[in-house]
Every structure is written in structure tokens, then in C-alpha cells.
Amino acid sequence: MQDRVYNFSAGPSQLPLPVLEQAQKDLLCYPGTGTSVLEMSHRSKAFDDIIVEAEASLRRLMDIPDDYAVLFLQGGATLQFSMVAMNLARQGDTMAFIKSGQFSSKAMQEGARWGNAVCVASSEDKNYSYIPKIDPASFPKDARFLHFTGNNTVFGTTFWELPQIPAAVGGAAETRLVGDWSSSILGMDIDVKKHDLIYAGAQKNIGPAGVTVVILKKDILDEPVDPLLPVMLRYKAMSDGRSMHNTPPCFAIYVSGLVFRWVEEQGGVAAMEKINREKAGLLYDFIDGSDFYTGLAEPGSRSIMNVTFKLPSKELDAEFIALCASRGMINLKGYRTVGGCRASIYNGMPIEGVKKLVDTMKEFELVKH
């Protein structure tokens, strides 16, 4: 077999090797069934056990209280931009958004199709290099929810403190807190109880593309929705069907379950956060000590999942990225609106990969500086 490389992609990302090996081992014959999970009925006992155990494992990992439902949906995190608005607000209602980057802006655009989407904080002025603060005076009192993106995958910033809904807000339409945690779920501690709804596309830190995890307070399921809303867009229908209203992405759910078990074996989310801080620290410490590399996110807002930096010129960025690729470290190019480099170092990236990257950065600096 060809050697595996270190994949620094923002997503789909590198999965833990033991998970791939387990999936490979069981690919032709899932124990006790004589079939592959790829061929298995979602109505079978074997698959029911898989999805039930995946949910139980995620509940243990994130300490999800009983009054929250856990759903495995399709359509990616992007469909949640729409589903959140359509299930938490009636058409024309007001919703509040924090614009802290690429995906939060897209979420707001989708919200604006459905209702009155108000921006209550933005870091657009500095190309989203920091986490903005809410201006309480501008916060709409009738906002059905406040949406924020917990970890900004493109720019490499994180909400280290959850956004606060201003105390003045409240009354009839209680404002709910909705977090898109696609790129740091299971990589750092996230307090589920402080949210009304959390969603995450799987392909960053959970598993393969094709499944999206939604964790929501069960009382949201009782809210009336527009009668025209298609069944596939209703949280209530998805919950009633235990994420199997129609055929779910069985294999993606199965592999996600393997990842959950692997994270538990590593010691859970706290242990992952510790190692992720160590990994990110290796990169940030090196960048801060160098005048050749420049970090792109403001230090107080820095992500431990996506580390963005640049070299002194675009030509050097490109040369460095090519050198890394030739040494088995791929997908280090920054997003086009940001430029430079981005190292995504999710749970599946071993610390050896980060050490190898830092060594190459050192060497490149010595040669070029």
C-alpha cells in the first residue's frame, strides 16, 4: 500500500487510523450479519444497534442532558442554515446573527430568505481575524434566536466565551442560542446546556461527509412550523423517526460511531482538547517566535483546530506548500479569501504530523530568510 500522508485539509479531514482499520476489517462482513454496513437495511437490528450506540456515545462525550434530542441528518451544515431558521422562526420573524466569517455569513444569507436577519456583531472590518462583540443596543428584542459559528474554519478563530444574549432581551419571544460547531465539536469543551441548538457537519471532526449532527432542546420540537414546510426539513419528523424517517446515511453514521468510541478511548473531549492545545501551541509558539511567518488570527481569538498563517510573499507561500506536499503533508493552502496557509489539525491529526510541519517550517525559514 502507498504510504498515508498527513492531510491538513479543513474538511473532509484525516480520520484516526484505528477507525479506518476497524471499518476496513468489517467492510465485507459486519460481525453477526454476513453483510457490509454499506448494504445493510436501516430497519435491521444490527443497524439499530449501531445508531443507538452512536447516539449514546456522543451523549456521554458531550454530556448531553436528557431534555436534548440528538439527530443524524443529511444536507450538511449548510442545510442547517435553512432548517434552523425554518424551525425556530416563522416566516418574516426576526433573527440575530454574528458575522465572524465565511460560514456565519452564509447562515445569515439563508436566514434572510426566510425572515428578517439582523447582524448584531461583525468582524468583517478586519477580514474576520477576530471574534466580534455584540452591541447590546442593536440587538433586536424580538429575535427568535441568535446564531453564531463557534469555530470559524476559514479564518481560524474561535468563540472561547459563548456570546451573551443581552439581558434586556426577553419577554414573549425568548431568544434561543444556536451554535454551528462543525469544525471544533469533540475537539474542545462545548457546554451543550448553554445552547438551545448545536449543529455540526461530520466531515471536520466527527467522521465522513454525508451526516450532520444536530443536538437540540426537545421543547423546540413542540414549536408550530409552517404547514408548507417539507417533512425532511422538520426537526420533529426527524426526531419522531429517530433519524430514520427515510434511509439515513448508514455508513457515515457507522463510521461516526467508530470515531465516538475512539474519542472515548482517548479519554474523552477533555483529553482531546488537551492534545489539540498542545498541537496548536507548537504551531503558534513557533509562528510567534519567527519574523518569517505571521499568524493571521488575533491571539485572543485563535482556533486550536484551524491555524492560519502566511509567509513574506505569495510566491513563498506557494513554494512552502509545494515543499510540504512533496514531503507528505497535503492541503495546506489557505482559503482563497484569506490566502497564505491553513493547517487544520482536528482530532484525527496526530501530534507527529504537526511536529513534522513545524520542522519543515523551521528548515524553510533557514533556507529562505
Which segments of the chain does DSSP mark as H helices, in order? 17-25, 45-62, 76-88, 102-114, 235-240, 250-266, 268-288, 314-326, 351-368
- Phi and psi, residue 202, nearest 5°: -75, -25
- Count residues near ligand PLP (CB under 6 A): 12
Please report, as residue ranges, which positions from 5 to 34 form the binding site for ligand PLP (by CB under 6 A).
Answer: 11
Tell me the three cell numbers of residue 309. Answer: 498563517
User: Please, which residues bridge with residue 329 across strands?
Assistant: 6
Q: How far apart are CA 140 and CA 137, in angstroms?
A: 8
Helix (H, G, I), strand (E, B), or coil: what is residue 119? strand
- Cα separation, 67 vs 244, in Å, equals 20
- 14, 153, 205, 347: which one binds ligand PLP (CB under 6 A): 153
Nearer to ligand PLP, 132 or 201 (CB): 201
Q: Is 268 in the site for ligand PLP (CB under 6 A)?
A: no
Choice between 173 and 233, CB closer to ligand PLP: 233
Stretch that binds ligand PLP, among 30-38, 74-82, 220-228, 240-248 (CB under 6 A): 74-82
Taking CB under 6 A as the criterion, the residue among 14, 87, 129, 149 binding ligand PLP is 149
Binding of residue 365 to ligand PLP (CB under 6 A): no
Cell of 128: 474576520
**Which three cell numbers mark 153?**
474554519
Kindly tell me which of 89 and 154 has the beta carbon lying closer to ligand PLP: 154
Cell of 326: 512533496
- Minimum distance from CB of 185 to ligand PLP (Å)? 10
Q: Is residue 97 within 8 Å of residue 104, measured between CB atoms?
A: yes
CB of 143 to ligand PLP, least distance (A): 20
| Site for ligand PLP, residues 191 to 210, rule: CB under 6 A | 201, 204
Site for ligand PLP in 174-193 (CB under 6 A): 180, 182-183
Other Cβ atoms less than 10 A from the Cβ of 16: the count is 19
**In the bound complex, what is the minimum distance in angstroms from residue 180's beta carbon to ligand PLP?**
5
- Position among 46, 48, 59, 76 found at the interface with ligand PLP (CB under 6 A): 76
Among 78, 82, 116, 294, which residue interacts with ligand PLP (rule: CB under 6 A)?
78
Is residue 157 at the binding interface for ligand PLP, with CB under 6 A as the rule?
Answer: no
Min CB(159)–ligand PLP separation in Å? 11
Which residues are CB-neighbours of 70 under 8 A, at least 6 positions away? 55, 58, 59, 64, 213, 214, 215
**CB nearer to ligand PLP: pick between 149 and 276:** 149
Kindly report the number of other CB atoms within 10 A of residue 328's CB atom.
13
User: Looking at beta carbons, which residue is closest to ligand PLP?
Assistant: 76
Contact by Cβ (8 Å): 276, 190: no
Q: Based on CB atoms, which residue is closest to ligand PLP, 307 or 311?
A: 307
Binding range to ligand PLP, per CB under 6 A, among 72-80, 108-116, 288-296, 342-350: 72-80
Rounded Cα gap, residues 189 and 50, in angstroms? 25
Interface ranges with ligand PLP (CB under 6 A)? 11, 76-78, 103, 149, 153, 180, 182-183, 201, 204
